Chain A
Amino acid sequence: MSQRAFADQVLLLAERSLMRTLRQPANVVFPLVFPLLLLAVNSGGLDAATRIPGFPTDSFVAFALAIPFIQGALFATMNAGTDLARDIQTGFLNRLSLTPMRRIAVLAGQLGGVVTMGFVQALVYLGVGMVIGVRLESGVAGALVLLAFAVLIALGFGALGAFAALRTGSGEAVQGLFPIFFVFLFISSMNMPRNLIEIDWFRTAATANPVSYLIECVRSLIITGWDGRALALGFGTAAVIAVVSLALASWALRTRLARS
């Protein structure tokens, strides 16, 4: 099959993935509104934390702006997973596999839609941040790097959701991942820099938690500027998540679509 034909298939399925998301307003509005609502609430409630000696910034909203980007990735997982699970349950995946479509195009198309939404979400979060007065210390270049990072984590988390869907064929099982992600999000440096977490076990857990590095990567672009270590750890972590998730999803796809 030519590269052109494969690209066409991926584009078609990505278009369908996007169309489905846009036709379910809750899937568009909720991932945009809820993280920003939480940002507003937490920033207001925790602003006093900036007075803790050693707190890296005097604006909690700048500190916390990183969180919606990660929450957005979480929603990407859920949406990719439940959409794919629905395709499995309705038999639509079987229908697709009866066409000349290459197996991997299913995954690529689904993730294409998810990544596009992730990019749009990231733009919105950045825009809102700027409107409420947050300045990116890393400037315009930093904003571009941030968008690239948002795309990478949407890809990685979306693939994780796709893996769960392909492995279980169940939307409920995908939804069951939500509490797990919730735990990873909260037991991290989400609300407090790791060096200011007093409780030893919590600090250890946050240090072991890959989500901390994702948050800190975005945060560094906003409040620090160019922090090579944070960027390396963040992009490295995101890349590992993406590679592992994609491998798992591809394997699950091969098993799910056992066709010759």
Chain B
Amino acid sequence: MRTFAVARGVAWRTLHTVFTNPSLFIPGIVFPLFFFTAFAGGLSRIDSVPGFDYPPGYTAFQFVFVLLQSAAFGGVFTGFGIARDFEGGFARRLLLAAPHRTGIVLGYALAALARWLVTAAVLTGVALAVGMQIGGDGVDLVGLYSLAVILNFAAILWASGVAMRLRTMQAGPIMQMPVFLILFFAPVYVPLSLLQGWIHAVATVNPLTRVLEAGRGFLAGTPTEVATAFAVAIALAAILWLWALRGLRSAERAG
């Protein structure tokens, strides 16, 4: 319970910093909206490619990707805040004050989730407003958003592990680049079946592809590879939980 008290404290402080600073808060909402507009708006003709078969339409197809992308980058943005805390010395204060330091990591994760929920709400609202079709029912949508939540958790764990090891804002690109690559080496613009060549090979082995395709299946009301997708997402989160904890130990050793 004390761990949770620490987590609550850290989460509150992080969220307070973000929501009172437009320059921190706004990009997290604007960028996903922008990507949604650019991809769904600019590339909608892709639904006329022979073999493209997604009943809810291209807007919904892209919505799933942007939703998962926003979850992943939401974690990374909170990671920037952790790096800033270490660089500014505030993190040392947290390490000294918190009796249960795992609570610190948990607190950052809670903050990342809360931030993302705001983004997800805005994104969903906009998508519905522009007429996005939904084929799935309530259970399917819970499945979709649950996958996004796990992804958000995994991303913040990755970013916090990096931040706690490097303890400087210069860690930003190192946090971002792998997440960017893993997202974009998935079937972003067309389904896996329409990819060819090297990108098809890479996307096939990319764990995120399972998550993405399952998410699209949820939204279409035709769930696919659900167990695999959840297994992959949970495994990723579990591995990155260890990564984050070891990062915490590294930060403790550095003093």
Contacts and interface: CB of A to CB of B under 8 A. Distances in A.
A48 B48 contact: no
Interface string A26-67: 000000000000000110111111011100000000000000
Interface residues of A, number: 26
A8 to B, nearest CB: 38
B185 interface: yes
Given A41-B185, A45-B190, A183-B34, A52 B197 contact: no
Contacts, number: 81
B165 to A, nearest CB: 20
Interface string B188-200: 1110001111111
A183 B35 CA distance: 9
Nearest to B27: A179
Q: Which of B41, B188, B190 has the most chain A CB atoms closer than 10 A to its own CB?
A: B41
Contacts of B42: 186-187, 190-192, 197, 199, 202, 206
A187 B38 contact: yes
B233 to A, nearest CB: 22
Interface residues of B, number: 31
A210 B93 CA distance: 50
B184 A48 contact: no
B81 interface: no
Interface in B34-60: 34-35, 37-38, 41-46, 48-52
Interface of B: 27, 30, 34-35, 37-38, 41-46, 48-52, 184-185, 187-190, 194-200, 202
Interface of A: 41-42, 44-49, 51-53, 179, 182-183, 186-187, 190-192, 196-199, 201-202, 206
